[in-house]
């Protein structure tokens, strides 16, 4: 991969919930210094595990010249190297990958294309260009794989489907796996636990693609519009593009996606408009989901 050095994943800015309120971009936490533990598996764990609660220093978010929160993603696109490794996951000439500062699931990443001719286009328009769409899909695939590995790192030890794989990892020399001398059981397909797509009505000005785990379990999931922006056709999968001219998702307001009843993504229970009841239910579903 021609990316610049991959940086640590933690917490970003730029929450997106369509017509929902925009969360103010305030500050970004930097991580603790990396541990001295060596080994490929430990190094990867360190790459993925730094979290805001480990912060010792605060990195103030630099607004764009306009000072508008809707433009907040612009700084990551133009100056990704100026952010600490707890903010920017990696960047290359064409893309920047970051953690959402206000994640709407336990894992929520954003991919930002750096092409200035695309930055302020609506995704429905930008993805009409087949060449650009193919380029975005290829990069989303890379970030998707990274996110799947992170879910495995976080939940592998408690997942029933991962048990044989975890037992094998505890039994064999990890270096032999790297050289191909040992083959690990496949374990759980974490890639299926991640959604990749955009909102039909983005709340941030710069084009961005969400790579988000399916659980919708997060303190930043605060109200109905937040939830429905990821639990209804308001969220459009990257593989659904380009959209047909008559696709109803081109008219999210008319379709009323954000005003729909709150329906659990996992069991299908309808909570009507009772968000706090759904929120408690999502916490319980999260614990069951990660243990599958």
* pLDDT for position 174: 64
Judged by average pLDDT, the poorest of 36-40, 184-188, 210-214, 233-237 is: 36-40
Name the band, by pLDDT with cuts 50, 70 and 90, for residue 167.
confident
pTM over 0.85: no
Pairing relation of β-strands 27-29 and 235-237? unpaired
Q: Which of 144, 199, 208, 217 is catalytic?
A: 208
Q: What is the mean pLDDT of the chain?
A: 82
In a 3-state reduction of DSSP, which class is residue 170?
A: helix
On the question of pLDDT at 135 being above 80, the answer is yes
Give the count of beta carbons closer than 10 Å to the beta carbon of residue 96.
25
* pLDDT for position 105: 98
Return the exposure string of 33-45: e unless at least 16 CB atoms fall within 10 Å of the residue's CB, then b: eeeeeeeeeeeee
On the question of pLDDT at 31 being above 80, the answer is no
On the question of pLDDT at 160 being above 60, the answer is yes
Name the band, by pLDDT with cuts 50, 70 and 90, for residue 89.
very high
The 8-class DSSP code of residue 33 comes to P
Name the band, by pLDDT with cuts 50, 70 and 90, for residue 169.
confident
**What fold does the segment set 27-290 form as a domain?**
HIT family, subunit A (3.30.428)
Catalytic, 208? Answer yes
Residue for token digits 């709150």?
A: 262
Name the band, by pLDDT with cuts 50, 70 and 90, for residue 18.
very low
Residues with Cβ within 8 Å of 242's Cβ and at least 6 positions away in sequence, in order, are 127, 128, 130, 133
Domain boundaries, the chain: 27-290
């Amino acid at each position: 991969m021609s990316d610049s050095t991959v940086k640590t994943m933690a917490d970003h800015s730029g929450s997106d919930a369509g017509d929902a309120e925009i969360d103010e971009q305030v500050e970004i936490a930097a991580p603790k210094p990396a541990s001295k533990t060596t080994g490929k598996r430990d190094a990867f764990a360190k790459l993925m595990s730094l979290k805001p609660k480990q912060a010792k220093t605060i990195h103030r978010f630099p607004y764009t010249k306009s000072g508008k929160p809707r433009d907040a993603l612009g700084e990551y696109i133009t100056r990704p190297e100026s952010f600490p490794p707890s903010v920017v996951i990696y960047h290359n000439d064409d893309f920047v990958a970051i953690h959402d500062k206000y994640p709407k699931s336990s894992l929520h990443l954003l991919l930002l294309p750096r092409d200035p001719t695309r930055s302020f286009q609506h995704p429905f328009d930008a993805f009409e260009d087949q060449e650009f769409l193919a380029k975005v899909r290829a990069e989303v695939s890379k970030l998707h794989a990274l996110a799947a590995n992170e879910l495995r790192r976080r939940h592998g030890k408690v997942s029933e489907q991962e048990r044989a794989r975890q037992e094998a990892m505890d039994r064999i020399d990890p270096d032999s796996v790297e050289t191909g001398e040992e083959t690990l059981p496949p374990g759980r397909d974490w890639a299926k636990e991640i959604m990749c797509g955009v909102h039909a009505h983005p709340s941030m000005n710069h084009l961005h693609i969400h790579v988000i785990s399916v659980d919708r379990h997060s303190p930043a999931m605060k109200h109905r519009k937040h939830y429905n922006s990821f639990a209804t056709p308001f969220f459009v999968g990257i593989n659904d593009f380009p959209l047909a001219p008559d696709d109803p998702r081109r008219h999210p307001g008319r379709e009323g996606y954000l005003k729909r009843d709150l329906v659990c993504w996992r069991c299908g229970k309808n909570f009507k408009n009772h968000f706090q009841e759904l929120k408690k239910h999502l916490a319980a579903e999260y614990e069951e989901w990660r243990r599958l």
